[in-house]
Structure 1
Amino acid sequence: MENRGDKDEELFYIITGAYQEIPAEAGYFHATYRQEHPVQKGLTYTIDDGIEGRGQFVGVTLATGMNGNNSCWVEGEARMYLDDDPYPSIHYTGTEDYFGGSYGFGNDIIIKNYQTFSGLYTGMYAIYGDNREFYNGQQRFLLYHFHIADPIRFENKFRMTLDNMGWTGPRYDDYTSVAYWYQTLPSAPLMPLPTDAEMCMR
């Protein structure tokens, strides 16, 4: 936890656990922050890369900020590369499908409003912007997918990417993500955190 503010803050926390021997093959929790503001048009956004060692990918949280034209933003495909596979070992059909909100994250196609939802392992739990009208150019969305019931295990490498695509082609939206995984070895050096100003979406 890092306090980047100008004054001291109080932080309350609870940690629950058990005192016991840790097996030699136990995985250690890792997380890494990444962002592209904006994603370079036509290029793939990298959620996680450079993971080496035996482990298990357990999920990702994603914040998206709409900068493109007033159109669809949810067609980007999620791809996971396990070990030495040159092609995606796991290939999802679109952003909305990966995060559990097919058909544009809306359960009312007639009025075309985005709907927040929070499932056990997937969800879009917050929408920010002037309103929830479909494809409002300044909206922000917060999403998650946790791989608990469908563990994704790897023996020596893991990489995950996500396209920034709409119906009509590539976009240039702001993407910010945190990936979570366990692995037996210390991770390769993680990317340094951006400055406060760089973290802000446009």
Structure 2
Amino acid sequence: MMPLDDDLEANSNNGRATTTRTRPSSAKHNIKMLPSIALNSSRPLYAIDHQAISCGKRLSGTKRQIRFRFGFASNDKITGAPCRNTVEEHDVVLLWSPMISGRAIINCNGQEVYHSVMRGVNMIVDVSWNMRGDHVLRIVAHASTASSKMSGCRQYELFVDGVSYFNFLTVDQLKVTNCLGLGKRPVKRHSKFDKGGTN
């Protein structure tokens, strides 16, 4: 995983991510949902864990590491713990230095899918890319809680096929419910991300 470096010069986008947008803090951020198919498929999404930490060398708040881990439930098992499909679990990490260098790096399953240095104080990272299996992933990150509140969004959020990470099933739900979950929508879960926490 490639670390952030506040002192490196600006590099251009390597082109692997399909879209990226940055906006000043005063801009409205309207999330356009992709077709919500993941929860209605035979392999519903489930959340494993997520975290956001400050990791700057001199000033901890100058760098962020945002991580989401999730999976697709197995379609050859119907209920219980076997639903969890370890072959189809994924790890998305955003390393971002919005205040100093503007460098943003996204790794998916240990492979870099996006790398850019954006000039100026960039308040929002909004990047989408394609993943094996015809899935579209999108990560949206706000540099400040004020920016996320203006848009009515969480400070950090991952979307898979248009579905928010915070609407995925939990691992515990996989153990006690029908994994197919047809006609059911998981209960919205609250987290520290709702309050814009970064630790």
> TM > 0.5 between the two?
no
Which has the larger Rg?
1
RCO higher in structure (CA 8 A, sep ≥6): 1
Q: Indicate the TM-score class for this superposition, using the shorter chain for normalisation.
A: 0.3 to 0.5
Q: Give the TM-score normalised by structure 1.
A: 0.32
Higher helix share: 2
Q: Give the TM-score normalised by structure 2.
A: 0.32
